[in-house]
Amino acid sequence: ALANGGGLMRCLTGTEVFLRTILHAPTYIQGSFLMHVLGEGLVLDIFRGGEFLAQNKVEKEIYRLCMQDEARHVSYGTMHLKYFLENHPDRKKALAEIIETVKALEKVIDKFGDEKISQLVQRVTRLKSPQR
């Protein structure tokens, strides 16, 4: 981005809020859950969409390899959370704190709701359908 003179630009407000929430998470486990399970899970879905829209075998393979890498990140976060909850002295309280973090985040990031997802599905369907 910097080499061609375009600069890094700015990210969407929702993305910025999500990243700030991860960085300022009260505990490591909450930050890890937000980043590895929610964030990387979303990126995994984006790569899955890229594979679906890929124009040739090489593009499909690139997206498959990216998905494989993201799946490792999601797996790490999931197993880390599982270990934490299995070994935490007050499991219910720990789980409640994580749920509270997610609910607070949902209130801030409301731009990517069902309506946006259905619009995205419609666009993808149009892209994949044969030209008339």
pLDDT digits (tens, 9 = 90+) for 65-104: 999 999 999 999 999 989 998 898 988 888 888 888 877 7
The fraction of the chain above a pLDDT of 90, given in percent, is 27
Whether 18 contacts 105, CB under 8 Å: yes
C-alpha dihedral (16, 21, 23, 25), degrees to nearest 10: 180
Window from 1-10, 17-26, 45-54, 95-104 with minimum mean pLDDT: 1-10
Answering whether pTM is above 0.85, one says no
**Contact 72/35 with Cβ under 8 angstroms?**
no
- Tell me if 36 sits within 8 A of 74, measured CB to CB: yes
User: Tell me, what's the pLDDT at 132?
Assistant: 42
Give the model's pLDDT for residue 97.
84
Per-residue pLDDT tens for 13-36? 777 888 888 899 888 998 999 899
Predicted pLDDT at 108: 65
CA distance 17 to 67: 24
Residue with more model confidence, 33 or 106: 33
The number of CA neighbours under 13 Å toward the Cβ of 63 is 18
- As given in the structure block, the two tokens for residue 80 are 């880390």
